Amino acid sequence: MTRSTLVWVAVVVVVLVVIDIALVTLALGRTAPNAGDQAGPIPTFSARPDASTSPTPTPSADAAGDTRRFLSAVDGQEAWRASGGATCGGAATTLEHTVDGGVTWVPVALGPDVSTVMAIRASSTDLAILAGIGAECTPTVRTSADDGATWTDGTPGAAGAGISTAGVVTSTGVVEPPCTDPIEAYQGQQTSVVICDEQVEWRSGAGAWVDVSVGGVRAMADNGDEYLLARVGAEACEGVEIASMTAIGVTPETGTPAVGCDADARTTGPISLDRVGESIWLWAGDSVSVSVDGGVTW
């Protein structure tokens, strides 16, 4: 090779080396962290490929205490439930029907003038509701014999007792509640019960109210000569405990022994309970549970 050719080869080699150095420097500059940048998180790995996290759920309207719930069972497979605002103009009122033990619920239309529901009572032949009608939520009983397709005026007391802003609605009118913020009301043929915070108020006929202290009580169901109570916060039950209480000759010392426990039931928000035969229905949170042995197991 001539001298000039060697010189040109040397020049080309030098240029290629310079270009290579420049490319390496640029690549290192792009991957190296800046001095002022915040360090990124160190990656972690789980032994479970399906491990995941979810945000803490926010409290629902039920947990805020501005809705009430009502549950009325026909047998171990059929029941009705309703919910609505504790006051007129509150949460939207709903009515639903199940015939498969609470697996599925079918919405049932209420009249456009129904502002809220205060009580429901179902049987194998018809359904009665105590509804607040119109802007004033006037307590009115309506019944249906065709699963809610049509409604007619009902007899006072046919749907049981309810709670309105004026007081406890009974078959004979509105009476003063025995506590400031009643949770649930019941009226039988001879006795009445009002569930209050931490206590059960009982009376026979139009007699004086008897105060029975029951911690965490949320709902009740008639069981003939006794009542069933749904309560939360019991030491032996992480969910909703079912307790019993006599319905005759109640005194402040009347006991409420435990019957069973639905350990998976939600303990916040409104709760509703009903009984027909040995079938106990419990509505807590988003779930409706059914016990077929009087509330012992769920």
- Residues 143 and 226 placed together within one structural domain of the fold: no
Instruction: Provide the residue type at 207 as one letter.
Output: G
What pLDDT does residue 19 have? 57
Identify the domain containing residue 81 by its residue range: 64-176
Average per-residue pLDDT for the chain: 83
The answer on pLDDT for 38 being more than 80 is no
Evaluate whether residue 32 is within a structural domain.
Answer: no
The sheet that has 106-107: what strands, in order across it? 67-73, 79-85, 94-98, 106-107
The answer on pLDDT for 270 being more than 70 is yes
Tell me the pTM.
0.77
Q: pLDDT above 90 covers what percent of the chain?
A: 70
Residue 272 CA to residue 119 CA, distance in Å, equals: 11
Contact 248, 225 (CB under 8 A): yes
- Residues 71 and 172 placed together within one structural domain of the fold: yes
Evaluate whether residue 54 is within a structural domain.
Answer: no
**Average of pLDDT values for 127-151?**
95
Q: State the pLDDT confidence band at 60, using cuts at 50, 70 and 90.
A: very low
What pLDDT does residue 182 have? 96
**Average of pLDDT values for 42-52?**
29
Instruction: Provide the residue type at 43 as one letter.
Output: P
User: Do the bridges between strand 106-107 and strand 94-98 make them parallel or antiparallel, or are there none, so unpaired?
Assistant: antiparallel
Structurally, the chain folds into a number of domains equal to 2
Q: Whose CA is closest to 114, among 146, 85, 147, 154?
A: 85
- Residues 162 and 208 placed together within one structural domain of the fold: no
pLDDT, one tens digit per residue, over 164-209 is 989 999 999 999 999 999 999 999 999 999 999 999 999 999 999 9
- Residues 105 and 194 placed together within one structural domain of the fold: no
Residue that finishes a domain, picked among 126, 141, 176 = 176
What pLDDT does residue 56 have? 28
SS3 string, 111-127, reads CCCEEEEEEEEECCCCE
